[in-house]
Amino acid sequence: MDARSREAGKGRAAARALLRGTPPPAGGLLQSAGPDAWIAFDEEIRRHGPLPEAVTATFRARLSARLGLLQPKTPVEVLLCHPDGRIREAALGTPQPPPELVVIRCADWAAAVREPARRLLAGTLADAPAATLVALTPLVLRLAGRDQGAWALALFEASLRTDPPLPAATARRDPATEPADHPSTVLARLRDSADLPTRRYATRLTLDTPVLRDRLAVRDLAHLAATERDPANAAVWTDATLRSLAAARPDDRGDGAGGRDEAAEQEAVDLLIGSPLPSVRAAGVTALRRAGRTAEGVSHLADRSPLVRACARWLTARDGGDPHDHYRRLAADPAGCSPHAVAGLAEGGRTEDVPLLRSLVAHPSGSVRAAAVAGLRRLGADPDRSALLALLDDPSPAVAREATLSLRPVAEDLDVGHLLSRCTPKQPLHTRRAAFRLLQVQGGTAARQAAESLSSDWNPALRRAAIAASHFYASPERTGRRGWLRG
């Protein structure tokens, strides 16, 4: 269950508790809950809430007077979500209705409910713009897709474009003492929101509004790109950073008015390179050339990402170096050899590296051995069946997995007895799994025997796969299985 489903479940549980007569918590209903919880709460009340007790012509007036002058027995949260629109309309007149439910009522299908809710929301936004925008923007974004949901989004967007300061942070940020994009304004807070749609919306609004975009120096753009957890949103910030670097526009917070801030540009490149996302790091490595630091491309040849390694090879070649020679030196150095360097060597695509890769299959590090097996497969080297079969018993699961992938094209010619002997409980899990997969490629009686043997395996995933295979072999469809008639 993802976070949004958990939030929705929290909202439904709160609704059922109120309908059962449980009083709301002392701190308020759904404290610190996300927008999905409030939407689910509203839907649950609308679906299971009480029916109106009267339908006379004077019901609306009497109900309004009762809710306006007396404390209703039914919680106002239930009344605001009541199936009867007249009750929802009257509940909006109660003192201090929950703002989240007021936002939901702004998108109500009934105009008699919708219009007073909109007046309430507009008044709340005018009285406390910063607090209202921070608290309710995620919910407004969720409701924007409804038939009547665009009004609240337009209202909030007009206010957000002014980017009001947060109450506790009205002073101008000092870049020497505070981090980039310090949440001193509403949009800065929304750009750091835990809610992904809110972060994406705040990003788009910031970059689409020239006044807001120009407030961010190149180091701020790079910081936002490097710290963003969502790859799609990080790509937007990365593109903005690269455009700023390419334009070499003046840094609004630099010391020199109208001049380039070289230190800020170099810092921006370093921030991109330090990102945990490969696409952002790759952009940073590519930006090293514009920054005059092409010689640093060598240090990124063994990055853990293939995309970054490809950019580093390009940068090294532009600097006049030979990436292949660097990779061979890294792979031949017992102390400096890493699986990423071995992968980079194979990505070069030279058959002359096959002997070196074969020697690395015996490397002490399991990750290096696995990278060497994968590299041999990438280069199209003829598989050494006996050596690869022996790797099924390797203590590293990654090595056994790569050996299995390399043996799949020749699985039909492998020793059936050797594979069946690896499908016993005494063998490690990764060995049993590898042998089972190869036997399933073979098909035939041996595959059925392996499935039956592993149908009681202690590992749930392997056990389910073996049971499914056993059922297949027991069905009439087994005659269509390739190799079934072979013993």
Give pLDDT, residue 483: 45
3-state secondary structure 413-452: HCCHHHHHCCCCCCCCHHHHHHHHHHHHHHCHHHHHHHHH
Say how far apart CA 285 and CA 276 lie, in whole Å. Answer: 13
Name the CA radius of gyration of the chain, rounded: 32
Cβ proximity of 407 and 388 under 8 Å: yes
Give pLDDT, residue 252: 44
Say how far apart CA 396 and CA 172 lie, in whole Å. Answer: 55
pTM attached to this predicted model: 0.83
Long-range pairs for 234-239: beta carbons < 8 A, 24 or more residues apart: 234/275, 234/277, 234/279, 234/280, 235/279, 235/280, 236/200, 236/203, 236/204, 236/207, 237/203, 238/272, 238/279, 238/280, 238/283
Q: For the chain, how far is it from start to end, CA to CA, in angstroms?
A: 45
Give pLDDT, residue 478: 56
Say how far apart CA 442 and CA 431 lie, in whole Å. Answer: 17
Each of the 487 residues of the chain gets a pLDDT tens digit; together they read 688 899 999 999 999 988 888 877 767 788 888 999 999 999 999 888 665 544 444 444 555 555 544 345 778 888 899 888 888 999 998 888 999 999 999 999 999 999 999 999 999 999 999 999 999 999 999 999 999 999 999 999 999 999 999 886 544 445 544 544 467 899 999 999 999 999 999 999 999 999 999 999 999 999 999 999 999 999 999 999 999 999 864 444 444 444 568 899 999 999 999 999 999 999 999 999 999 999 999 999 999 999 999 999 999 999 999 999 999 999 988 777 899 999 999 998 888 999 999 999 999 999 999 999 999 999 998 888 999 999 999 999 999 999 999 999 999 999 999 999 999 999 999 999 999 999 999 888 999 999 999 999 999 999 999 999 999 888 765 544 444 434 3
Give pLDDT, residue 375: 96
Amino acid at 390: A
Spatial CA neighbour of 222 closest among 235, 237, 212 = 237
Say how far apart CA 51 and CA 336 lie, in whole Å. Answer: 74
- C-alpha angle 388-392-394 in degrees, rounded to nearest 5: 105
Say how far apart CA 281 and CA 102 lie, in whole Å. Answer: 44
Say how far apart CA 48 and CA 25 lie, in whole Å. Answer: 21
Cβ proximity of 345 and 356 under 8 Å: yes
Give pLDDT, residue 171: 43
Say how far apart CA 225 and CA 196 lie, in whole Å. Answer: 14
* Residue entry with tokens 């390694």: 309
**Would you state the structure tokens that stand for residue 89, as one six-digit string?**
């309309």
3-state secondary structure the chain: CCHHHHHHHHHHHHHHHHHCCCCCCCCCCCCCCCHHHHHHHHHHHHHHCCCCCCCCCCHHHHHHHHHHHCCCCCCHHHHHCCCCHHHHHHHCCCCCCCHHHHHHHCCCCCHHHHHHHHHHHHHHHHHCHHHHHHHHHHHHHHHCCCCCCHHHHHHHHHHHCCCCECCCCCCCCCCCCCCCCCCCEHHHHHHCCCCHHHHHHHHHHHHHCHHHHHCCCHHHHHHHHHHCCCHHHHHHHHHHHHHHHHHCCCCCCCCCCCCCCHHHHHHHHHHHHCCCCHHHHHHHHHHHHHCCCHHHHHHHCCCCCHHHHHHHHHHHHHCCCCHHHHHHHHHHCCCCCCHHHHHHHHHCCCHHHHHHHHHHCCCCCHHHHHHHHHHHHHCCCCCCHHHHHHHCCCCCHHHHHHHHHHHHHHHHHCCHHHHHCCCCCCCCHHHHHHHHHHHHHHCHHHHHHHHHHHCCCCCHHHHHHHHHHHHHHCCHHHHHCCCCCCC
Amino acid at 243: R
Give pLDDT, residue 47: 87
**Would you state the structure tokens that stand for residue 99, as one six-digit string?**
């703002």
Give pLDDT, residue 25: 77
